[in-house]
Structure 1
Amino acid sequence: MPTDGIFQLPYKLVDGRIEPLTFTADQVMSRLKEDKIKFLDLQFTGLFGRFHHTTMDSKMFRAEDFTDGLPKLDGSSIRGFTEIHESDLIIRPDPSTFATVPWIGTPTARLICDILSGGSKREIFPRDPRGIAKRAEQYCIDQGFDTSYWGPEVEFFVFDKLEVNTMTPYQGQSYHIQSREAPWSTDSVGYALRLKEGYLPSAPGDTLMEYRNECVDVLTNNFGIVCDAHHHEVATAGQCEIDIRFDTLVNAADAVQSYKYIVKNIAKKHNMIATMMPKPIALDNGSGMHVNVSLWNKGKNLFYDFADEYAEMSQTARYFGGGIIEHAQALAAIVAPTTNSYRRLVPGYEAPVYVAWSTGNRSAIIRIPAHYKGPKFANLKRIEFRAPDPSCNPYLAFSAILAAGIDGIKKKRDIGDPVNEDIFKMSPKRRREFGITQLPASLREAYEELESDNAFLKPVFDSETIDRIIEHEEKEHVELAVRPHPHEFSMYADV
């Protein structure tokens, strides 16, 4: 074990591959002493995806807290959790999530927590997103699958400055984005990235390579989240992607929450701001969170079938994809849960709008990546669901996608024929001929779809959780609906 503040790396090399370490309760207690950790940051996720925390002196933390939990949560103060008369909840740290936080001056470590109901039962709280994800994993096992693997591709923007004026709603509201990369910047020195032309530019056009390097270093060396690569994305003004290694459902959702936490705090350290807002820039590409998923049993990828000449895709995968297609409109409320999500889901910006599937067609909501073929690459066969964006709660999103896919398997809902044409360029008549429908055009349409189609979620989500998601999104819709948009003044002020 390390001494003098030099932390042990949270991963190991196995056959030349990086594999994360999993800490036990005893190992965490040893690390607290040996690494002279002074504070423990106890983190958990609210129903609508916000990361919360409470911090305690590490000397006050006991080994039995990993089993008994800590009475440190007023559930009535977290949106969507409890009413004021039933507010006492318990947080129970998971030792496997131990990580050190390098940007805090005082030696600090974090633990992600499950949320338990108070009282004598000490059960997982029904609206704990991490608890829902654990139920989804168990549901997957109950249906005869050893595990599911999840590979989220999280995109985000990093701005130099973001100014938002919301204090005078009666006089007007505004925002201003500053980015040295943007074509409207006065600091770009001739190297501005034009709208939709930000994909993989070299320096000096890409100004954020060192920032992403630092994020990867922290993700891997402190949090044990293995990263494959990182790059600038298509949009101007600092759109980034850091690719993280696939993992099981709960672990992958933990990784997404940690990813958001890290990229935001590293940006703050450099006086920048990272945002998971899906569509912050008008007329440019938005940020997605494409989700890659596969089902496995006894070490075999059940989505692979060499006999399928088109996509090497098994019947199990076709049914799973069929479930996603069938419930796509309702899923939108969970995987694209903000009003801003539907600024992204419009034709013309590479975001998937149409309910269809293909191999290379990025205008469809499901893609079957086909970079490699043959039994050698059977482990890579997966379904890529392209509708989610990074504003979603990953625990809920992965759980809902799994529930939809398994519903398709149980009901044998075949995914149908692929669409290999550019759907954006099809006429409405042509789309009707293919039977192609469209995702909801607004958050209101999405939560109304969820209200009418949610039975497939019931093995994983309880009814009250679904109701609270719908209620919350209705409020979000109204928040925007009652305020005039700034661009409306240029369109209608002279009518």
Structure 2
Amino acid sequence: MTNTKRGICRWACTHRLPRLVTTRIRTGRPRCLWTSNTYPLMALKYLFTDIRGFLMQVARNGRVSGVLSRVPISGALVPGWQSEAESDLQLLPDEASSLTDPFGGDRLVFAQPVQPGEPRGSYPMDARGVAQRAEAMLRTLRIAERAQVGVELEFNLFKGVRFATTAERNLVEIAEEDGWAGNAGELGSGYRIGHRTLHFLAGPADQHAPIRSEICERLTAAGIQPLHQAHEAGPSQHEIAVEHAPLCRAADQVQLLKHVVRTVAVGHDRTATFMPRPIPYAESNGMHVNVSLWRDGRNIFHSPEAPSGQLSAEGLAFVAGILVHLQSLNAITNPTVNSYKRLNHFYSLMRGPGWGYRNRTTAIRIPHFTGEQDCRIEIRFPDPSANPYLAFAALVCAGVDGIQRGLQPPPEERGAPKWYEQPFHAAHGVEAMAPELLTALKALHQDRPFLTANSVFSDELIEAILRDGSFFWHWSATTPAPLEYQVFYGH
């Protein structure tokens, strides 16, 4: 080591600066990975997602190798991927997605499964590859150069949870802290608030504010910018919104946000859930997806010629495309049995399949905007149980289908839709939202060309989604719930 290098190292150690680890990628180009303080890189963590949306991880020892290269895994260990007879897969990291581990000195990188020796995006079960193909479709069709997606994610923080479904036990018990159920508990601060008075709590009544603040600090450390966070309307329910990003990057942010929420909750002796409806008779958890399309540096949903605060013709066609394919989209954006306990519940603010300006009771809301930068479409029916890569890609495919076909949406909803207005929606080509998962799966089976037309989704992936959803629907349909014992046990 030269005297100059020794001097730089001594200066860095004195000032406690991060050490720079320089590695060389397979392409031969140098790649720099920062570590915390002056300690060597502990691990390179490869993050990947299965078709159900579960985040998984494989870590490599950074002391041995800081090189971003393919990592062999067994695809048979990931639901829906490979059989034991042909289980060999590799994880191919995406260099551009590298970020700091919010919980230590490690480095995170999002990776995608590939067959040995095959290129990125070639494996049909690669959910992240679907999102990348949706982005490529926009450019190929010259509709837009990118889709910007911003997400508002809702979740619950509980003090504890216990559940079991066996031959001898069928129960769920939740310990929540600030709803109406908490008022009958042990003596405490007295700040527990009643039902439906929980939105935007402040001060000591919001017992989980420090947890949300730490979540946002961890996200910021990882390079993800939270926009706002607040207590939501349900018991122990919260919302965090993150800054908009290109489609695939936005899905990465959702996956990391879920990981950070769950990990921080455990550190505070709490448990987090993103179930659409974990508590009966209470507000549910949604994943509101804000979308805009950009071409030649311009937001194509915004039109200077349109009346103030209204969408362009392309923006309205995008809305119409989503409404036309609503039930088949439900199978991807609302993929669990529990999803439909949210969509069909009285406490769901979203009560209609239509759209409206500044109307929070419809499937699609056009928020108030003052210019091109904040002009967007808010899609309100997806929920956090969805795989974000598949959900965002499917929504864009449906919207693009509407633009290509020049569809027009029905008249906008003014006020809260009523159940007896369904014939009105049907007359304008708008489907009602699927009442249950099985209906959504049947719709996806029949209405899939808008997903496969531009090779964004493969038939093989759609069949895997149908098999997985059908299995859990049948399991739920044949398993008695605790409520059934309460109502029917004595009959």
The TM-score, its normalising length taken from structure 1, stands at 0.89
d(CA) in 1 for partners of 2:419 and 2:441?
A: 28
State the match for 2:435 in structure 1. Answer: 441
Q: Specify the SS of the correspondent of 1:423.
A: coil
Measured in 2, the distance between the counterparts of 1:227 and 1:25 equals 32
Q: Which residue of the partner structure matches residue 47 of structure 1? A: 51
- 1:454 equivalent to 2:454? Answer no
Q: Give the Å deviation of 1:101.
A: 3.0
Instruction: Indicate whether 1:70 and 2:71 are aligned.
Output: yes
Deviation at 1:473, TM superposition (A): 0.1
1:41/1:55 contact within 8 Å kept: yes
Corresponding residue for residue 20 of structure 1? none
**In 2, distance between residues paired with 1:127 and 1:315?**
35
The 8 Å contact of residues 321 and 415 in structure 1, kept in 2 or not, is answered as yes
| Aligned mates of 2:171, 2:16 — CA distance in 1 | 46
Q: Residues 5-31 of structure 1, C-alpha deviation per residue, up to 9 Å, x if partnerless?
A: 7659xxxxxxxxxxxxxxx97443464
Question: Equivalent residue of 1:85, what SS?
Answer: helix
Residue in structure 2 matched with residue 214 of structure 1 by the alignment: 214
The match for 2:407 among 410, 413, 421 is: 413
What is the number of residues matched between the two proteins? 467
User: Matched residues in 2 for 1:270 and 1:25: separation?
Assistant: 42
Q: What is residue 22 of structure 2 aligned with on the other side? A: none
Question: Is the contact made by 2:16 and 2:37 (CA closer than 8 Å) also made in structure 1?
Answer: no
- What is the aligned partner in structure 1 of residue 232 from structure 2? 233
2:250 match: 252
Instruction: Tell me which moved more, 342-351 or 145-154.
Output: 342-351
1:182 paired residue among 162, 179, 183: 179
Residue in 2 aligned with 1:86?
86
SS in structure 2 of the partner of residue 130 of structure 1: helix
Cα pair distance change 1:206/1:139, threshold 3 Å: same
Deviation at 1:432, TM superposition (A): 6.6
Report the structure number with the largest CA radius of gyration: 2
Work out the CA distance in 2 between the residues paired with 1:432 and 1:447: 20
Any idea what the Cα deviations from partners look like across 1:91-144, whole Å, max 9, x if unmatched?
12223333333535xx42222112211246676312111111111110011111
Deviations 1:429-463 (A, max 9, x none): 77677776421111111111111111100020000
What SS does the corresponding residue of 1:152 show, helix, strand or coil?
Answer: strand
Measure the CA separation in 1 of the matches of 2:268 and 2:405: 51
Q: Distance in 2 between matches of 1:296 and 1:343?
A: 35
SS at match of 1:401: helix
Q: Distance in 2 between matches of 1:406 and 1:486?
A: 43
1:334-353 deviations in Å (ceiling 9; x for gaps): 00111100111024323424
Displacement, 1:234?
1.0
SS in 2 for 1:28: strand
Matched, 1:151 2:142: no
Secondary structure in 1 aligned to 2:206?
A: coil
Between 341-350 and 381-390, report the one with greater CA deviation: 341-350
Confirm whether residue 306 of structure 1 aligns to residue 307 of structure 2. no
The correspondence of residues 43-442 of structure 1 with structure 2, limited to 5 A, is 43-63=47-67, 65-66=68-69, 69-71=70-72, 73-103=73-103, 107-119=105-117, 124-144=122-142, 145-166=144-165, 169-185=166-182, 186-187=185-186, 189-221=189-221, 223-236=222-235, 238-309=236-307, 311-370=309-368, 372-373=369-370, 377-424=371-418, 437-442=431-436
Listed one character per residue, the Cα deviations across residues 459-493 of structure 1 (whole Å, up to 9, x for unaligned) are: 20000000000000000101111111111122222
CA separation of 1:335 and 1:62: change in aligned 2, threshold 3 A: same
**Structure 1 position 485 matched with structure 2 position 481:** yes
Structure 2 CA distance for partners of 1:369 and 1:120, relative to 1, 3 Å: closer
Q: Deviations over 1:5-58 (max 9, x none)?
A: 7659xxxxxxxxxxxxxxx97443464896522122211101110011112211
Letter in 1 for 2:468: H
- Seq. identity, %: 29
Q: Does the CA-based 8 Å contact 1:49-1:394 persist in structure 2?
A: yes
Q: Secondary structure at the match of 1:56?
A: strand
Structure 1: gaps of 5 or more residues: 9-23
Q: Alpha carbons of 1:123 and 1:435: their partners in 2 closer, same or farther (altered >3 Å)?
A: closer
The amino acid across from 1:201 in the alignment is: L
The one of 472, 475, 488 equivalent to 1:476 is: 472
Contact 1:354 1:437 in 2 (8 A): no
- Give distance in 1, aligned partners of 2:422 and 2:71: 57
Deviates more, 1:77-86 or 1:377-386: 77-86
Aligned to 2:272, what secondary structure does the other structure show?
strand
RMSD (Å), alpha carbons: 2.5
Which residue identity does 1:173 align to in structure 2? N
Name structure 2 gaps, 5 residues minimum: 1-8, 20-27
- Say whether the 8 Å CA contact 1:51–1:257 is kept in structure 2: yes
Larger mean Cα displacement after TM superposition, 42-51 or 29-38: 29-38
Distance 1:408 1:325 in 2: 9
CA contact under 8 A between 2:326 and 2:431: conserved in structure 1? no
SS of aligned partner of 2:350:
coil
The verdict on how the C-alpha distance between 1:351 and 1:124 changes in structure 2, with shifts beyond 3 A counting, is: farther
Contact 2:425/2:432 (8 A) holds in 1: no
Could you tell me how far apart the structure 1 residues matched to 2:450 and 2:17 are?
A: 49
Greater mean deviation of Cα atoms: 302-311 or 357-366:
302-311
In structure 1, distance between residues paired with 2:315 and 2:419:
28
Q: What is the TM-score when the length of structure 2 is the normalising length?
A: 0.89
The 1-side partners of 2:279 and 2:227 are apart by: 27
Rounded to whole Å, the distance in 1 between the matches of 2:156 and 2:17 is 32
